A and B are shown apart, each in its own frame.
Chain A
């Protein structure tokens, strides 16, 4: 009797719990579905509905016809590739050096980088620096300031420190240089953490927009997120008007904005399964060091 009563309690709990989790999924997914529906509509609003009103593809055609979107996409891809490769090379070399436990000056170097996690010069000094370095309106203003993320660096160093010394010994006896040891032995073994850092950096670059607002003036150097910001948040007239008014018909701003949002979300969705796997791994490695 008692046992059955308990079982009943468990079942009630499981049902309620399942419903709560369903609610979480619905609350997470609903805004996307609503915006998708709006992006296929010809109205300014579709209310609660998840179905398009007056189905149309015109919003997407307007987005695709907007040259700035493609320029932005191209610049974003360039930025992701250049930024991530540079970061990777510089970071692997530094992490390897810091992983040598008996390296003279290691404590100093570690403190030197950790301090930057605690204290930051701030927005204005950074802006002045970029201006003084004459990096304004160049891609380097987007790539160089974020060359190394100190947290990722420390995670990578910890990973390399956990590798056994014996890995390198035979190579050392053969007279291989540290450079060769790093790139032919250590880096291939550290692939899990390298993959994680690649994704961290790539996603950061993909999503970055504020540095473009600060440092980039020319239209042909803007990145996708910034173009999107101009369309959906600032509603900048120079980008919006082109899309709204064309020869035949006027399309509401809201549904064009929705199409632009969905258009820029698709690339992330495509790589998402991959992202999720390595990001979660990275969080584990990064937080549980020992």
Chain B
């Protein structure tokens, strides 16, 4: 008995040593690969991990003269300041309201679009719709912002349409409530086609036998769409929904910054635009860093949770890892 135990122990030790040994051997045989990974590794350290260390400026009284390490610690002072002022609550709730509105309206539309597009039988018409609807995705918000400022302006075509219909002109760009509508609408306009791709791909992989069976049962196109197509892509709809809820706090800086103006700050000013103005226009580096850090921690929790749930729901792994 005791002998076998001792033998096992020895065997284990030998195995362990061999394992260590072979690991070393592998490291050496792979040395070229480590060398190839080095530039990227250095990139991640410098451009991702140094800024992560850099969040300490939120707890310091940062100035460029003293640098990050030389500036004085002030603890949670900037966070206290943040929670004591109104501005923070305003940008925080603006971010959430816009995020929720964009999900409520912006999420279902690509799904519906994909479902309807799938029912278009004429191949060239279908291709034409796809080509057109993907285009805005490739254009920057500078181009689109310039365009929409024109389209939505008081003299622009949209107001000309209102006038033509005998309605009153609406100043979208200076009315805080209307501006929200503008942001949600232009967001949908830009992303609808592109966001439908993933659903179209899911639809393409549905077993056609199901449709054949439904046709024999006498189901019309609408019934087939609602009872076969929709349930078949429901898993991916749920996963995409969870992932987009996880991104709710990540406001669209490019969109808002290129469209907004001080007249609509009360509804359009979000965390990222506020951080930019506070930090790089007013030079309140530490305060801006504190606001940003607070946001990034919430984003971390949200994204991590949503990805974990999404990965649990589906083993095909639509989440980021």
Contacts and interface: CB of A to CB of B under 8 A. Distances in A.
A147 interface: yes
A55 interface: no
Interface stretch (B1-9, B94-102, B116-124): B116-124
A28 B132 contact: yes
B143 A93 contact: no
Given A32-B147, A210-B253, A210-B254, A45 B40 contact: no
Contacts of A48: 157, 160-161, 164
A100 B33 contact: yes
A104 B23 contact: yes
A124 B26 contact: no
For this complex, into which size category does the number of interface residues on chain A fall?
35 or more
Interface in A235-290: 254, 257-258, 260-261, 264-265, 268, 272-273, 275-276, 279-280, 283-284, 287-290
A122 to B, nearest CB: 4
Contacts of A133: 46
A121 B146 contact: no
A127 B57 CA distance: 12
Contacts of B221: 9-10, 13-14
For this complex, into which size category does the number of interface residues on chain B fall?
35 or more
A228 interface: yes
A139 interface: no
A173 interface: no
A52 B296 CA distance: 48
Nearest to B48: A116
Contacts of B108: none
Contacts of B139: 207, 265, 268
Contacts of B136: 28
B160 to A, nearest CB: 4
A99 B67 CA distance: 39
A144 B125 contact: no
A97 B222 contact: no
A125 B289 contact: yes
A123 B275 CA distance: 8
Given A97-B36, A124-B288, A34 B157 contact: yes
B131 A119 contact: no
Interface string B136-158: 11111011011111110101110
Given A45-B156, A122-B293, A125-B55, A287 B117 contact: no
Contacts of B150: 34-35, 38, 254, 257-258
B92 interface: no
Query: In terms of DSSP, what is the predominant structure of the interface of chain A?
Result: helix
B318 interface: yes
Contact of A112 (B32, B44, B57, B192): B44
Interface string B33-53: 110110111011011111111
Contact of A96 (B33, B254, B257, B288): B33
A96 B37 CA distance: 8
B211 interface: no
Interface of B: 23, 26-27, 30, 32-34, 36-37, 39-41, 43-44, 46-55, 57, 62, 64, 67-68, 113, 116-117, 119-121, 125, 128-129, 131-140, 142-143, 145-151, 153, 155-157, 160-161, 164, 189, 192-193, 197-198, 201, 218, 220-222, 253-254, 257-258, 272, 275-276, 279-280, 285-286, 288-289, 292-293, 295-296, 299-300, 303-304, 316-318, 320-321
20 contacts: A9-B221, A25-B128, A90-B43, A100-B33, A109-B41, A120-B48, A123-B276, A124-B285, A125-B57, A128-B62, A129-B47, A148-B43, A207-B139, A214-B280, A228-B146, A229-B146, A257-B146, A260-B146, A272-B135, A279-B138
Interface of A: 2-3, 6, 9-10, 13-14, 17-18, 20-21, 24-25, 27-32, 34-35, 38, 44-49, 90-91, 93-94, 96-98, 100, 102-105, 109, 112-114, 116-129, 131-133, 144-145, 147-148, 151, 153-154, 177-179, 182, 203, 206-210, 214, 225-226, 228-229, 232-233, 254, 257-258, 260-261, 264-265, 268, 272-273, 275-276, 279-280, 283-284, 287-290
